[in-house]
Amino acid sequence: MTPSFDRTELPSGVRVLTETIPSVGSVAVGAWVDAGSRDETPAEGGITHFIEHMVFKGTRRRRGYLINQRMESVGGYLNAFTSKEHTCFYARGLSEHLGRGLETVLDLVTQPTLPPREIEKEKDVVVEEIKMYEDAPEDHVFDHYEAALYPDHPLGRPVIGTPESVRSFSQEDLARYITQHYVPDRLVVAVAGNVRHDDVVRQTERLLADFERGPNPTQRRPSTAYQPVDVAVERPIQQAHLVLGTRAFGARDERRTTLSVLNTILGGGMSSRLNQNIREKHGWCYSVYSFVNVQTDSGDLGVYIGTDASRVDRSRALIERELAKLAETAVSDRMLMRAKHQLKGSIILGLESTSNRMQRLGRVELVYGRLTTIDEVVEEIDAVTAEGVRELAAELFAPGRLSSAALLPEDR
């Protein structure tokens, strides 16, 4: 039997999606909340991520130390993550423990107690997490890059917040944010594995019988107009870290697949143009790659490189040369086909995991509001043309459109 997709919207507005895979013995369960760091005010910076931490500290059904035991005691696991637009609480275990996984993640979303003493302890934990990222310049440079692309906008602020904002949170702040954003019509339950859709719907309805907070629509602030900017910050580090990129478009733009192919050609692996023409040819770096970030209504494409401070300007020139080549000349049929195979392979290989399948279900529903099959994705990739890639590159990499952020060693 092949995998099958099903979708049910409960009367409350909660959406339940399943991908039934009879050939596996596991199940991945996710409770997705359509709320992320872009939904925060400046004073709330990092509150979505902080709530993700705090729900594990206790619910009305069980104390904090028992929450992770729910899945670990039967050989599974439980975790969560926060992004710019979404928060996901997820569990994975054997198919026979579907009910346990569903009950656990939905308990986190609907029944957190937010103990004040635990809030104060967790502030220290998250501040240490912030320090950890700031001590990793290859990660921290992206905070400066995003701030450059989205100045004075929530998309330009770090998901994790700042020590000042995190220290300011009270139980009332957290409860108010949950009441506003953790509502039925912003909740998606996604399940992938050896399950029956009707079983998932029935159990979800039972577990959410009291989840009746009325919808409280929140209008997300649109992304601001783009103005390129260059930012450079000196730090006590040995290597320079540079991110060079530009604003693109949102996930619903019909050119999104062309963007993915362009990214693959540019810097998506060891055979990419960036790796071959900077690392392999010149030996100027250990790490160089391109990336795409896509939100519902905005996105960006950029390049990261870590190199010696004496080579920053020359490395930037090489990167800009590669961008210009993509904008000026269509890639060969052979290179295009190789990129398509690479992209399709990475997607399909990723679906060997029920966790990845569950995550795809949740993301696709929240962004597009409909199920898309892998066959549809493959068809979109196959339809990309060399001229389409060149035209998109010419638009994105037009003169004067690039922004940059650099972390540079002090006393260069």
As a whole number of angstroms, the distance between CA 186 and CA 209 comes to 16
Query: Looking at the predicted structure, is the pLDDT value of residue 403 above 70?
Result: yes
As a whole number of angstroms, the distance between CA 268 and CA 292 comes to 10
As a whole number of angstroms, the distance between CA 292 and CA 289 comes to 11
- Which of 117-131, 215-229, 364-378 ranks highest by mean pLDDT? 117-131
Q: Which of 19, 44, 52, 85 is catalytic?
A: 52
pLDDT of residue 372: 81
164 has catalytic annotation: no
| SS3 label, residue 339 | helix
Strand order in the sheet with 299-307: 230-235, 403-409, 240-247, 299-307, 285-294
Tell whether the torsion through CA atoms of 48, 51, 55 and 56 is positive or negative. Answer: positive
**How far is CA 378 from each of CA 18, 340, 353, 366, 392, rounded to the nearest angstrom?**
21, 9, 18, 21, 20
Question: Tens of pLDDT along 89-98?
Answer: 999 999 999 9
CA 69 and chain centroid, separation: 27
Q: Name the residue with higher pLDDT: 180 or 370.
A: 180
Query: Looking at the predicted structure, is the pLDDT value of residue 1 above 60?
Result: no
pLDDT of residue 68: 86
258 token code pair: 């062309």
* Beta carbons of 151 and 120 less than 8 angstroms apart: no
**Which neighbouring-strand residues pair with 36?**
none
Q: Directed axis angle between helix 333-350 and helix 374-382, to 10°?
A: 170
Give me the chain's average pLDDT, please: 95
**How far is CA 110 from each of CA 32, 58, 173, 300, 343, rounded to the nearest angstrom?**
12, 11, 16, 34, 38
Q: Residue 117 corresponds to which amino acid?
A: R
What domains lie within the chain, and their CATH numbers? 4-207 (3.30.830.10), 230-409 (3.30.830.10)
Question: Tens of pLDDT along 287-339?
Answer: 999 999 999 999 999 999 999 999 999 999 999 999 999 999 999 999 999 99
